Every structure is written in structure tokens, then in C-alpha cells.
């Protein structure tokens, strides 16, 4: 089976050309008949017709022989039937562990009102039956409806593609569903995410030049088992990250408690989704992308809190020292972030001195640890520069050496 797609101007009908065998043509013809019948019954706009021609093509077999194969050249003409004026805005995932998780379309600016949404329900056909996923649609006047997978086609356009019998179609229909393997607690997942960013730096799922953090989590929790290079790579990553994750239990609890607290707030879908996932008893790999971002969300919030303290004069929001000065000072770690760079993982410590001055150290090691604790450190450091970021004045440190470690001391 092969196909080509061409579209004309918006004022004309769309045209698809497909190459079908006998069985595919018979089932496609019946599918289009039922689709048009449904459109007429429900008052949908649009109509689809088929233009069918017999054709031949030359095909070279793997053996090297060239044969002539017959097929049906089928053009699908018209416009997919649908109600006018509706658009898709969010997928509704009624997860049995985390509750309602939404996935909105890119550039979605509004807020999803969750109060009227309920699992298993469809506003269109008014039926209540098991549905793992729902879909939220909005029309041009702002009205919204929750629909199931069958009814969504009435609003966004019926599927007018042919019925195929090839391996790719079967694969696509069975291999791209969600995972329901609730094998790990959110606390353990966050600890592994922390270990991954500590070792490799934080890598977003959208980045293609490195392995995303959520994939590192999968390599530890769901390693591949076939005797091949991929399985060996998973095993190597697991061996490297498991010890780090075991040591990150307290840090993971700190991050989880922050996400669940009122300090992590806002009306965005990201905030609500992450709270639901972190508050669940068990989670599956479908949510690893969000869980991988939890350490970054915590670190950024700490830095925002420093800015608020600066505005309220609760810290000494001033630079200290001169560039190239070599000084001794006592510092406490406020947040830790990890970034992947050209020369390995960079650890970014956000610090506060004993007299309340903000500072930062972009380190190539973890000399001040991998957890935010109640420690204070007497260090010797060189002042690299001064940088103001969103109102907070950070003194940038380099060549930091720990002279003394004072666990459990109260901050000044």
C-alpha cells in the first residue's frame, strides 16, 4: 500500500489518493457509506465520495525479480463531516492513581475548569461508560464540552482514511496506547529523577541532542531485557544511578513536600497536574516527563523566594567583594540545579552567606553535596563576578574549597 496526499485551496474540496488492494477497497467503500449515513442522521456538514480507478505498477521483489502488480487508485473527495466551529483544547486523562491529568494544546492560555468534568462521561451522547480518556472541546463562542473518543469525530471531522490491512496499520493501532504499570511511588521516581539530573544534567523531553531525563528514569525503573546493546546501556545507567537515588531520599521528600504545599501554586495546568501526580500513591512511566521536572520546579521556586526576600529586605541584596578577590566566607545551600553541558554535568549552587548575601557557584563537582540540608560551610572562594537576575544581586564564586563543614547549625 502507498499513498499520496494533496490539498487544494480552502474553497475547494480536499483530495486524497490511495493505493488499495481488493479487500481494502471493499471495506473502505463500506466505511464511507456508513460515515455519510451517520452525517445525514446527525446533521453534520460535509460529504465524502470515492473516485475509483484500476491501475498497475512495477515492483522489484527482494529476490531481484520485477513483477507487475495491480491495485485500486482511490481518490477520496469532499470534506470530512463534522459540526462547524469546534476545536480541540485538551486531553482528559482520568488516571486511577493521580486523578484528572490534563494535556492542553500548545499555546493554550486559559484554565480548564475541572469542577464540571467527570470520568466516563460524554456530554454529546449522554452516556456514562468506562472511558480512560476524554477530550475537551471549545466552540467559537467559548462553550466547552467533554466528549469520548467516538463522539469527538463529530466535532473535529470524521476519519475518512481507508481501511488498511498492512503491518504498519496494525502496529499503530496496538502499540501507541498509554502505560498502566504503576510500579513506583512518586517519591522513588523523584529520587531517581534527582539522581539522573545530578549525573547527567537536566535534559528536556523536547531536546534531541541528548537523552531526556525521563528516559534515564525509564532506564532505571523499566530497563530493557533483550540481550542487546540497548539492554546493556540500560544496565549501565541503572548501575550508575541507583546508588545516587538511594542517597537522595531526603531530597526527594523535600521536593515532594514542596510540590504538594501552597508554596507551589498557580492556576496553570502544569501546577495542578504535577500536584496530582506527586500526591498519588503509585505512578507509571506516562508521567515521568512531569516528575522529571519536579526538581527543576523546586529549585526555581527557591530562587524566586530569594528574589521576594530581596524585595522585602529580608536578605542583604547587595554584591560583596571585588572581582578576583580570594576570600573566606560561611555559606548555606538554598537550592541545587544540574545542567548537561559540553564538558559534563554542571552543578549550580544557589547560596546565602551568614550575613544574608546571595551567591552562586557553577561547579564542576558536588563539593557542597547533592541535597539541601541544614549544613553551613566555611569555604575559600574567588569572586568571579557580579550578576543581577530579576532583581536579586548574586555574587558569582569560583575555585571554591570547603574548609569546614558544620552540620545542623541554625542559619544566622
The pLDDT tens digits for 41-58 are 888 888 889 999 988 877
Which residues constitute the domain of residue 21?
3-78
State how many domains the chain has.
4
Q: What is the pLDDT of residue 51?
A: 92
Contact of 82 with 46, CB cutoff 8 Å: yes
Runs of H (alpha helix) within 227-350: 229-247, 249-260, 269-279, 288-311
Residue where a domain stops, chosen among 58, 78, 98: 78
Q: 195: which 3 cell numbers?
A: 539522581
DSSP annotation of 320 reads: -
Q: What is the pLDDT of residue 380?
A: 92
Q: What is the mean pLDDT of the chain?
A: 81
The pLDDT tens digits for 303-352 are 766 666 665 566 788 899 999 999 999 998 888 887 766 666 788 888 98
Asked if pLDDT for residue 399 goes beyond 50, the answer is yes
Residue 279 placed within a domain: yes
Residue 314 placed within a domain: no
Contact of 25 with 33, CB cutoff 8 Å: no
Domain check: are 144 and 226 in the same one?
no
The pLDDT tens digits for 85-128 are 888 889 999 998 899 999 988 778 888 999 889 999 999 999 99
Residue 276 placed within a domain: yes
Domain check: are 363 and 252 in the same one?
no
Q: What is the pLDDT of residue 3?
A: 39
Instruction: Determine the Cα angle at 22 with ends 21 and 24, to 5°.
Output: 65
Query: Which distant-in-sequence residues (6+ apart) come within 8 Å of 109 by Cβ?
Result: none
Residue 124 placed within a domain: yes
Residue 300 placed within a domain: yes
Residue 173 placed within a domain: no
Q: Please list the residues that pair with 87 across neighbouring strands.
A: 138
d(CA 228, CA 393): 51
Q: What is the pLDDT of residue 60?
A: 62
Q: What is the pLDDT of residue 178?
A: 37
With pLDDT > 90 as the criterion, what percentage of the chain qualifies? 25
Q: What is the pLDDT of residue 190?
A: 92
pLDDT, greater one: 397 or 76: 397
Which pTM was predicted?
0.54
**Would you tell me how many other CB atoms lie within 10 Å of the CB of residue 334?**
20
**Residue whose grid cell is 503491518:** 167
Amino acid at each position: 500500500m502507498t499513498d499520496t496526499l494533496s490539498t487544494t485551496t480552502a474553497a475547494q474540496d480536499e483530495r486524497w489518493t490511495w493505493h488499495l488492494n481488493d479487500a481494502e477497497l471493499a471495506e473502505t467503500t463500506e466505511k464511507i457509506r456508513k460515515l455519510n449515513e451517520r452525517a445525514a442522521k446527525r446533521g453534520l456538514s460535509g460529504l465524502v465520495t470515492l473516485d475509483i480507478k484500476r491501475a498497475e505498477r512495477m515492483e522489484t521483489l527482494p529476490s531481484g525479480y520485477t513483477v507487475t502488480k495491480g491495485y485500486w487508485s482511490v481518490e477520496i473527495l469532499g470534506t470530512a463531516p463534522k459540526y462547524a466551529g469546534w476545536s480541540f483544547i485538551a486531553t482528559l486523562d482520568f488516571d486511577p492513581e493521580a486523578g484528572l491529568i490534563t494535556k492542553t494544546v500548545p499555546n493554550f492560555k486559559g484554565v480548564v475548569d475541572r469542577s464540571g468534568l467527570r470520568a466516563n462521561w460524554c456530554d454529546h451522547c449522554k452516556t456514562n461508560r468506562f472511558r480512560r480518556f476524554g477530550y475537551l472541546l471549545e466552540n467559537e463562542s467559548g462553550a466547552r464540552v467533554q466528549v469520548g473518543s467516538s463522539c469527538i469525530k463529530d466535532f473535529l471531522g470524521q476519519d475518512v482514511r481507508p481501511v488498511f490491512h498492512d503491518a504498519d496499520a496494525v502496529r499503530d493501532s496496538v502499540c501507541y496506547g498509554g502505560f498502566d504499570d504503576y510500579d513506583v511511588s512518586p517519591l522513588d521516581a523523584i529520587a531517581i529523577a534527582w539522581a539522573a539530573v545530578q549525573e547527567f544534567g537536566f535534559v528536556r523531553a523536547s531536546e534531541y541532542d541528548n537523552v531526556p531525563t525521563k528516559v534515564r528514569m525509564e532506564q532505571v525503573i523499566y530497563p530493557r531485557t533483550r540481550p542487546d546493546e540497548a539492554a546493556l546501556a540500560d544496565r549501565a545507567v541503572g548501575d550508575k544511578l541507583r546508588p545516587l537515588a538511594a542517597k537522595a531520599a531526603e531530597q526527594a521528600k523535600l521536593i515532594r513536600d514542596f510540590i504538594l504545599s501552597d508554596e507551589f501554586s498557580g492556576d496553570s495546568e502544569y501546577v495542578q497536574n504535577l500536584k496530582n501526580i506527586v500526591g498519588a500513591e503509585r505512578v507509571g512511566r506516562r508521567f515521568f516527563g512531569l516528575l522529571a521536572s519536579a526538581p527543576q520546579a523546586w529549585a526555581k521556586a527557591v530562587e524566586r523566594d530569594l528574589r521576594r526576600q530581596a524585595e522585602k529586605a529580608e536578605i542583604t541584596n547587595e554584591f560583596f567583594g571585588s572581582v578576583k578577590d580570594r576570600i573566606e566566607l560561611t555559606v548555606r545551600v538554598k537550592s541545587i540545579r544540574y545542567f548537561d553541558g559540553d564538558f559534563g554535568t554542571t552543578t549550580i549552587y544557589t547560596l546565602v552567606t551568614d550575613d544574608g548575601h546571595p551567591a552562586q557557584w557553577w561547579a564542576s563537582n558536588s563539593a557542597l553535596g547533592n541535597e539541601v540540608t541544614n549544613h553551613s560551610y566555611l569555604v575559600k572562594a574567588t569572586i568571579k563576578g557580579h550578576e543581577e537576575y530579576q532583581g536579586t544581586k548574586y555574587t558569582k564564586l569560583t575555585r571554591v574549597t570547603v574548609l569546614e563543614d558544620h552540620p545542623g547549625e541554625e542559619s544566622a
